Amino acid sequence: MSEQQPSRVEQILDLLVQEIEERMWRRKHAPSLEGPSLEGPSLEKPSPEPSPAEPLERAQGRAAPPSESALPPEPAPVLEEEMQPAEPEPELDLPPMAAGPSHAARLMGRLALGLLVAIVLINIPLNRHGTTLATAMPDSAALVVRDGLVVTEEDDEEIYVYQDGKLRWISSMDAFEHFGYTWGDVHVVEDGYLDRFEIGTPLHVVVKCRQSPHIYALEGEEKRWIRDIVTFTAEGYVWEDVRFVSCDYLRDLPDGETIPPGSGPPPQP
């Protein structure tokens, strides 16, 4: 009787085999029903189980509708006015501008032209002696009076040179040129300006010809006979002042008053 019935050990082994088979089947067909595995908890998030309708939809070729959170945001409505292109502004039909000099270049050109005109004007002779505006411009009140200053009054043709506190009349153009003066040296002053100065002896050119001993002082267009050497020295002349000219030139000049006056008829060279 004991041979026909399994022993207690065999029953326990059968139960263990059944338990192992059952667990293997569960792990194979239903892994989610089992508890945590013996290797420890997994850090990966388990994927959700597909719904019963999902396999049917995949079979029919239709995808499941996306959730609201997965849908892209709808674009903002565009107004009809914004969709229309902006009309271009009408272009002004202006004539083409000709290329010309800049404002600074035109200004410099005008200044240069004005300066040129001013230079020409101040160098135009004001009288028959050739006195220019450049020499007549200084105000007589600001005129520096010094030796060698050459002046003439506006309505007077006589020219004077200031020497040793006196004005000396330059008696002839020969004397003017002989002493090295030019019309650029002449300063024009108002009438009556020279009245405040003392008048000295005239400034003459003394001439003689080699064939005659007589000495003459040129005054204007006349020759004035100098009576003797004492008078010659008294007038302030020196021998270096004497210019030699031809006797014919002296004979052609009219005779003026002798030096000193009243010395009788002058002799001819």
Query: Could you tell me the CATH number of the domain that includes residue 163?
Result: 3.30.2390
How far apart (Å, rounded) are the C-alpha atoms in residues 9 and 189? 161
Tell me: do 152 and 135 sit in the same domain: yes
Tell me: do 198 and 218 sit in the same domain: no
- Domain assignment of residue 108, yes or no: no
- Domain assignment of residue 16, yes or no: no
CATH code for the domain in which residue 259 is found? 3.30.2390.20
Opening angle at CA 221, ends 254 and 171, nearest 5: 130
Question: Considering Cα of 227, then 229, then 232, then 233, what sign does the dihedral take?
Answer: negative
Tell me: do 196 and 210 sit in the same domain: no
Q: How many domains does the chain have?
A: 2
- Domain assignment of residue 47, yes or no: no
- Domain assignment of residue 23, yes or no: no
Last-in-domain residue among 181, 203, 225 = 203
Last-in-domain residue among 177, 203, 229 = 203
- Domain assignment of residue 194, yes or no: yes
How far apart (Å, rounded) are the C-alpha atoms in residues 176 and 129? 11
Last-in-domain residue among 183, 203, 223 = 203
Q: What is the pLDDT of residues 123-144, one digit of tens each?
A: 666 555 555 555 554 455 567 8
Token duo for residue 96: 């083409």
The secondary element (H helix, E strand) that includes residue 174 is helix 173-178
- Domain assignment of residue 160, yes or no: yes
Q: What is the pLDDT of residues 221-260, one digit of tens each?
A: 899 999 999 999 998 888 888 999 999 999 999 999 999 9
- Domain assignment of residue 148, yes or no: yes
Q: What is the pLDDT of residues 75-96, one digit of tens each?
A: 555 545 445 555 656 555 555 5
Reported confidence tier of residue 110, pLDDT bands at 50, 70, 90: confident
The pairing of strands 242-244 and 205-208 is parallel
All residues at 6 or more sequence positions from 225 whose CB lies less than 8 Å from its CB, including other chains:
214, 215, 216, 255, 258, 259, 263, 266, 267
pLDDT (0 to 100) of residue 212: 93
Long-range contacts of 171-176 (CB under 8 A, 24+ apart): 171/202, 171/203, 171/204, 171/205, 171/217, 171/218, 171/219, 171/220, 172/204, 172/205, 172/218, 172/219, 172/220, 172/221, 174/205, 174/218, 175/203, 175/204, 175/205, 175/218
Domain span at residue 211 reads 205-269
pTM: 0.44
Tell me: do 155 and 178 sit in the same domain: yes
- Domain assignment of residue 58, yes or no: no
pLDDT (0 to 100) of residue 101: 56
